[in-house]
């Protein structure tokens, strides 16, 4: 048995024994669906733009139409993509029962949520309403969601129908301020509730999977270290070495879409 096969067998035993499973995913999972990272998306017409002009509040206030159009381009690419085998394996595990699964993602594309809805629709065992609600509420988007918007001045999310506003950007019905993407820009704090849930999960889980992340973006990169300090096993899945390997109980070297289906089945 080769090293990766032995590691997979060990990881499967850990997953089978877990009762509180936390899965943390990064850009590598979305990359397998053809979603480029933020900087990789700065190509073509956008290649000459400073990221600070496209992903800060100051940049948005200076040129709202430019920033809105940039995010509209990214949303179009996401709409044309589909969840991959890694997204689907996680979604099936969320609905399977037997363990409480919390998903923490740094990705803003909403593909985890789409995969979960597809799994709910495709399920032949008809998960009960409580299980479906729990699964939907067990996705923590640390950096927000590019498919959502909120008022720049703090009125919160707009009522349904904002998509029909043809202005670039659309305006808040309450105060008239521009709507902005509901993502974390440079210099902004992570959503307080999402960060609190992520830290709580690292402090309460009995197994953590860290998938498709470089381990260099904080505070997400800190989560496996919190879990490991408690003696909790950590499984790291990535094609290349990362700093998380240092504390991982098991390292699976490969793509998320290849590793997660047999691991979570």
**Token digits of residue 68:** 């809105």
Asked whether the beta carbons of 192 and 144 are under 8 A apart, the reply is no
Q: In whole angstroms, what is the distance from residue 71 CA to residue 144 CA?
A: 13
Q: Which residues are catalytic?
A: 143
**Token digits of residue 215:** 């381990």
Cα–Cα distance list, 232 to 14, 49, 86, 212 (Å): 10, 43, 23, 20
Asked whether the beta carbons of 27 and 212 are under 8 A apart, the reply is yes
């Amino acid at each position: 048995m080769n090293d990766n096969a032995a590691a997979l067998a060990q990881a499967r035993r850990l997953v089978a024994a877990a009762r509180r499973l936390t899965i943390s995913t990064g850009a590598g999972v979305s990359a397998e669906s053809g979603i480029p990272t933020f900087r990789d998306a700065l190509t073509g017409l956008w290649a000459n733009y400073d990221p600070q002009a496209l992903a800060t509040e100051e940049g948005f206030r200076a040129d709202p139409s430019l920033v809105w159009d940039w995010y509209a381009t990214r949303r179009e690419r996401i709409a044309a993509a589909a969840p991959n085998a890694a997204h689907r394996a996680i979604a099936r595990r969320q609905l399977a029962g037997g363990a409480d699964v919390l998903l923490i993602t740094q990705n803003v594309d909403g593909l985890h949520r789409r995969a979960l809805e597809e799994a709910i629709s495709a399920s032949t065992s008809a998960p009960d309403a409580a299980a479906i609600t729990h699964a939907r509420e067990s996705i923590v988007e640390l950096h927000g969601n590019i498919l959502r918007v909120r008022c720049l001045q703090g009125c919160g999310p707009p009522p349904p129908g904002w998509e029909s506003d043809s202005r670039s950007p659309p305006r808040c019905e309450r105060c008239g301020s521009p709507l902005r993407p509901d993502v974390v820009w440079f210099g902004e704090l992570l959503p307080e509730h999402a960060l609190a849930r992520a830290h709580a999960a690292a402090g309460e889980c009995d197994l953590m999977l860290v998938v498709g992340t470089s381990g260099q973006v904080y505070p997400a990169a800190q989560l496996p270290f919190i879990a490991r300090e408690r003696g909790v096993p950590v499984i790291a899945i990535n094609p290349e070495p990362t700093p998380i390997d240092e504390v991982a109980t098991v390292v699976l070297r490969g793509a998320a879409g290849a590793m997660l289906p047999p691991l979570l089945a």
